[in-house]
């Protein structure tokens, strides 16, 4: 009998990233951290893509009608609301995992924002991963002040739990 769910994070690089192995480990760590802290009780899977500015701009235009470079996009597979699923989730018969969705992170934009905000690229990538996984679980900062506050509290708490704070330099 499995006591703890096993979460799988697939990270694909579609652009050149300095120290890609560290970035991969960071994305995996942050995504799993959110899933564990949200008490996701089943084996979950997330596909993460690290892309360049042009690709994320294209996706943002195609799926959100916003023809601008953004930092991260989330494409949930299921209808969640603030961490609670609204429908039964069926695991993939081959892997036994439930695919939660896709995350697309623009590494160059993350590095630019890290410099703007005065913290490390690792902290920014960790924040964006945490932010995206929360979106995959139905959290949304665009629904209203209460939902925004709930999401921001979780982001801060989850990042602090793994040592990624705004003042990490």
Rounded to an integer, what distance in angstroms lies between the CA atom of residue 11 and that of residue 22? Answer: 11
* Residue 7 in marked binding region: no
* Residue 141 in marked binding region: yes
Residues β-bridged to residue 73: 104
Rounded to an integer, what distance in angstroms lies between the CA atom of residue 80 and that of residue 121? Answer: 29
Q: Where are the alpha helices (DSSP H) in the chain?
A: 20-37, 53-64, 107-117, 121-136, 145-161
Joined together, the tokens standing for residue 148 give 């925004």
* Residue 119 in marked binding region: no
Joined together, the tokens standing for residue 39 give 């008490």
Q: Which residues are CB-contacts of 29 (< 8 A; sequence separation ≥ 6)?
A: 126, 162
- Binding-site residue numbers are 131, 135, 141
Binding residues for Zn(2+): 131, 135, 141
């Amino acid at each position: 009998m499995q006591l703890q769910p096993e979460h799988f994070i697939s990270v694909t690089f579609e652009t050149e990233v300095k120290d890609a192995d560290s970035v991969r480990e960071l994305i995996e760590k942050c995504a799993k951290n959110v899933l564990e802290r949200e008490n996701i009780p089943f084996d979950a899977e997330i596909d993460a893509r690290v892309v360049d500015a042009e690709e994320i701009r294209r996706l943002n235009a195609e799926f959100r009608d916003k023809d601008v470079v953004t930092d991260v996009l989330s494409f949930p597979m299921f209808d969640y609301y603030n961490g609670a699923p609204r429908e039964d989730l069926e695991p993939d018969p081959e892997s036994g995992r439930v695919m939660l969705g896709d995350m697309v992170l623009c590494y160059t934009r993350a590095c630019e924002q890290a410099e703007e905000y005065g913290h490390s690229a690792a902290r920014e990538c960790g924040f964006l991963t945490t932010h995206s996984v929360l979106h995959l679980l139905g959290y949304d900062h665009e629904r209203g002040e209460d939902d925004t506050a709930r999401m921001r509290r979780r982001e801060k708490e989850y990042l602090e739990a793994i040592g990624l704070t705004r003042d990490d330099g």
